[in-house]
Structure 1
Amino acid sequence: MCRRDVRELGKSNMLLASTEEEINKVNAPQLSQRLVLLLAVACGLSVANLYYVQPVLADIGREFAVSVNQVGVLATLSQLGYALGLLLIIPLGDRYNRRALIVTMLVAVTVALIAMALAPTLVLLSIASFIVGVTTVVPQLIVPLAASLARPQERGRVVGTVMSGLLIGVLLARTASGVLSAHLGWRAVYWIAAGLMVLLALVLRFLLPPDRPQSDMSYTQLLRSLWSLVKSEPVLRETSVYGALGFAAFSAFWATLSFRLQTPPFHYGSEVAGLFGLVGVVGALAASFIGRLADKVNPRKTIGIGLLILLASFGIFWLMGQYLWGLIIGVILLDLGAQANQISNQARVYSLNPAARSRLNTIYMVSYFIGGSFGSFLGTYGWGFAGWFGVCGVGLLLLLLALAVYVLNSRRTQAASR
């Protein structure tokens, strides 16, 4: 980043951020409980587009007569597309009116979902899956908007509530997709999703409050400033590692669950794979509590707890994954740990720089979904190489690596404070 850009970044932040308290005085009256609920529902409905594919991978594989590894690339491509969309689109949330940007992206994802429903070949389906990922960025425009509207003392609770809606959307997307695919076929899932996006665009256009831009930087300057933020914010770097590795393990499980349930001793179809999303809602409902906890204690501690819960879930999958009740217990812990990790990471990220929340969120979430796409790939590879134990081994290794980084950074922090 050149010196001129650094000066522009500094002037922009000083001019437009002023103080976080002033921003919240202007915005706080707009954040009613009804609006928080609307934002949570919007996050859930829009993020679901990214996850409809996971329970129906086996059905798609049968239609196109391809192997597990070939059809598994659809989940990987959608998450890579999401990471690219986060990188290229989300920084605009600091520069433009986020309400207009949200509505525009909902229209774009509607077109991509229709392409998924119509795709006649696996190649075209893969391209459409990638584009769905690129355009499914609305949740990551909504979460920083909610954080900006919230008062500092309630930010963890608000972000936790909105993220609860997001995670419930992730989980129920699998349930809806599995059930609809079993009765109407997997293509119907995408037609219905497209209709929901049109409806959501209309609702948000009229009910979301307009917000003011936080920066007057050009698009090029916004993108260049991302690297400057990475270099200057050690907390951002640390949380990005925990988010990426935790979500990689989470994705390795969900990308392969439908394959596991179709093999002995289960022999279940996409409908049962989707119903596992309902089980995970138990963990998702803890998001609001975790958000409140992050307001009161150091959120880094709850990150460590979340990683340990994730590790325990994969231990249960390894030891008791041959029983349905073992999978159910593991899924509850998996989603609880994932939620604790995610909410706590974002609470730390949003506390850093109020004038750069969209860009901070961009960096964190790009890392997060690169980790998710990597986890999906490793999960399907582990399944092809060693079946269910291969998937469990992938999850355990990823989480042990995350905990090793956590312990190492804890020791460095303690040493620096002496």
Structure 2
Amino acid sequence: MIRQTDIHTRSAHTTYTQDSTTPIHPTSPGLPAPLMLLFAVACGLSVANIYYIHPMLNIIAADLHMDAALSGSIITVTQLCYALGLLLLVPLGDMLPRRLLITGQMLLSVICLLCTAMASGTLTFWIGIGMIGGLAVVAQTIVTAAASLSSPAQRGRTVGVVTSGIVIGILLARVIAGLLTDWSGWRSVYVCSAILLLVVAILIYYYFPVKERSVSASSAQLSYGKLVLSTLQLFRDLPILRNRAVLAMLIFAAFSTLWTTLVFPLSAAPFIWSHSEIGMLGIAGLAGALAASRAGRWADRGWMHRTSGIALALLVLSWLFMWQLYDHVWWLIAGIVILDLAVQAVHVTSQSMILAARPEAGSRLTGGYMIFYSIGSATGALTSTWVYAAYGWNGVCWLGFGYSLAALLYWGWTRIYSGTV
């Protein structure tokens, strides 16, 4: 149980420099474990909202009378709105108290979830799901807040643990959505999510450290427009941000390619799986959560480049396993485990590296980086449904393999010529 006195005690022993949002912890071992766990749960629930749809994609498309080849556009709309939220909402974390910003966005998400559950047509559903996507960026504000509340020596571990919540939320979203869809319909998924998110928002508001950190002097002097513009300037100034953002775009295009189309072959002959069974495959990807936590520790030890190279090679390898789906489903499961482990290892390593580059601009760094994550996810969703409609599962595997190989080659090229990735 989280004790208010623990958090207040920790806040009292935390000091800040005038121009930095990064706390200096002379004695504190880092963010209290109960609060770190609460942050991880909040991240998982927030991000899950944009992934519930994956095992339900075919039934929602049928309910909304949408062509299967265009069903990926639902996910694309969600991810594009997510990218818009990263650009317009996440930078506010460097300007406003994160406690109010986080709880406010979570409460708005609750309203949007309930509206989506009551949607009666395609347009209203797209508006609702788009708003959910835009507000799900609160998870990135939480990650940045957790990093700023941690000691510099344990920032990577903290980012890894909190990001594990995101990974678990992404994967269990498919399990929960599949089970609830078979039990009581797809609308019940969004109602249950709204209830859980409301409870967590109340807990976040109550237990978030009151003295979270002082707003940096440089951020306080910026207007909102200049704050958003400064995100673009960070791309100009930091090669590590540019390179890691491109990697995020490629690896999450591969990630989305798999999870967007998986429902189609598994719900058809010879498998004819239920939505519950398809959703249960999310459990196979929980190895990614373990990789997220471990990768953070490796980043703290300075093994970022080694971790990235190995993980990207595994990402390419994963598609060779999943190519054998029609030989045996265990090949698919092995490929899912490897793919999720690889993607999350690169993702956590990237976040640890960019947050260390400019701690005082943590929210803007995270927002800018995650815009490319969202672009990659949207691209993977849209292209994979087109490719599946035309070329089937083999075409999807070629597409995912291509995205993964491009990421590995890009990492190798930047290591040779710039040494920054």
**Fold match by TM threshold 0.5:** yes
Contact 2:312 2:404 in 1 (8 A): yes
1:318/1:27 Cα in 2 relative to 1: closer, same or farther (>3 Å)?
farther
Deviation at 1:195, TM superposition (A): 1.0
Residue 236 (structure 1) aligns with: 241
Residue 118 (structure 1) aligns with: 118
Residue 71 (structure 2) aligns with: 71
Q: Give the secondary-structure state (helix, strand or coil) at the position aligned to 1:119.
A: coil
1:27/1:259 Cα in 2 relative to 1: closer, same or farther (>3 Å)?
farther
Residue 128 (structure 1) aligns with: 128
Deviation at 1:264, TM superposition (A): 2.2
Correspondence for 2:275 among 245, 262, 270: 270
Indicate yes or no: 2:225 matched with 1:225: no
Q: Give the secondary-structure state (helix, strand or coil) at the position aligned to 2:96.
A: coil
1:353 and 1:94 map into 2 onto residues whose CA distance is 12
Once the two structures are superposed, the pairs formed by residues 133-172 of structure 1 within 5 Å of their partners are 133-172=133-172
Amino acid at match of 1:309: L
Deviations 1:212-253 (A, max 9, x none): 323202111101111211100000000001111001100111
1:290 and 1:54 map into 2 onto residues whose CA distance is 27
1:63/1:207 Cα in 2 relative to 1: closer, same or farther (>3 Å)?
same
2:53 and 2:157 map into 1 onto residues whose CA distance is 31
What is the CA RMSD across the aligned residues, in angstroms?
Answer: 1.8
Residue 259 (structure 2) aligns with: 254
Indicate yes or no: 2:288 matched with 1:286: no
1:72 and 1:224 map into 2 onto residues whose CA distance is 31
1:113 and 1:25 map into 2 onto residues whose CA distance is 39
Residue 360 (structure 1) aligns with: 365
Contact 1:31 1:149 in 2 (8 A): yes
1:64 and 1:371 map into 2 onto residues whose CA distance is 26
Correspondence for 2:215 among 186, 189, 213: 213
Residue 397 (structure 1) aligns with: 402
Q: Give the secondary-structure state (helix, strand or coil) at the position aligned to 1:17.
A: coil
Deviation at 1:290, TM superposition (A): 1.5
Count residues with an aligned counterpart.
400
Deviation at 1:68, TM superposition (A): 1.2
1:252 and 1:285 map into 2 onto residues whose CA distance is 22
Contact 1:265 1:322 in 2 (8 A): no
2:88 and 2:161 map into 1 onto residues whose CA distance is 26
Deviation at 1:320, TM superposition (A): 4.0
Structure having the larger proportion of residues in helix: 1
Amino acid at match of 1:144: T
Deviation at 1:269, TM superposition (A): 2.0
Contact 2:105 2:138 in 1 (8 A): yes
Segments of 4+ moved more than 4 angstroms: 26-30
Q: Give the secondary-structure state (helix, strand or coil) at the position aligned to 2:25.
A: helix
1:229/1:327 Cα in 2 relative to 1: closer, same or farther (>3 Å)?
same
Contact 1:61 1:71 in 2 (8 A): yes
Query: Structure 1: any 5+ residue segments left out of the alignment?
Result: 1-13
1:106 and 1:279 map into 2 onto residues whose CA distance is 28
Contact 2:164 2:290 in 1 (8 A): yes
1:321 and 1:366 map into 2 onto residues whose CA distance is 35
Residue 192 (structure 2) aligns with: 192
Correspondence for 1:349 among 342, 347, 354: 354
2:179 and 2:17 map into 1 onto residues whose CA distance is 52
Q: Give the secondary-structure state (helix, strand or coil) at the position aligned to 1:268.
A: coil
1:331 and 1:42 map into 2 onto residues whose CA distance is 25
Residue 3 (structure 1) aligns with: none
2:20 and 2:384 map into 1 onto residues whose CA distance is 46
1:30/1:307 Cα in 2 relative to 1: closer, same or farther (>3 Å)?
closer
Contact 1:58 1:270 in 2 (8 A): no
Contact 1:300 1:345 in 2 (8 A): no
Contact 2:318 2:338 in 1 (8 A): yes
Moved more, 295-304 or 269-278: 295-304
1:119 and 1:251 map into 2 onto residues whose CA distance is 25
Amino acid at match of 2:370: M
Q: Give the secondary-structure state (helix, strand or coil) at the position aligned to 1:286.
A: helix
Contact 2:42 2:197 in 1 (8 A): no
2:97 and 2:372 map into 1 onto residues whose CA distance is 25
1:28 and 1:356 map into 2 onto residues whose CA distance is 23
1:28 and 1:265 map into 2 onto residues whose CA distance is 57
Deviation at 1:374, TM superposition (A): 0.7
Correspondence for 2:316 among 306, 311, 317: 311
1:380 and 1:28 map into 2 onto residues whose CA distance is 49
Residue 9 (structure 1) aligns with: none
Once the two structures are superposed, the pairs formed by residues 29-44 of structure 1 within 5 Å of their partners are 31-44=31-44
1:58 and 1:18 map into 2 onto residues whose CA distance is 48
Contact 2:285 2:340 in 1 (8 A): yes
Deviation at 1:271, TM superposition (A): 1.0
Amino acid at match of 1:86: L
Deviation at 1:29, TM superposition (A): 6.9
1:154/1:397 Cα in 2 relative to 1: closer, same or farther (>3 Å)?
same
Identity among equivalent positions (%) equals 39
1:161 and 1:259 map into 2 onto residues whose CA distance is 33
Deviation at 1:321, TM superposition (A): 4.9
Deviation at 1:18, TM superposition (A): 5.2
Deviation at 1:272, TM superposition (A): 1.1
Contact 1:41 1:165 in 2 (8 A): yes
Amino acid at match of 1:213: V
Amino acid at match of 1:145: A
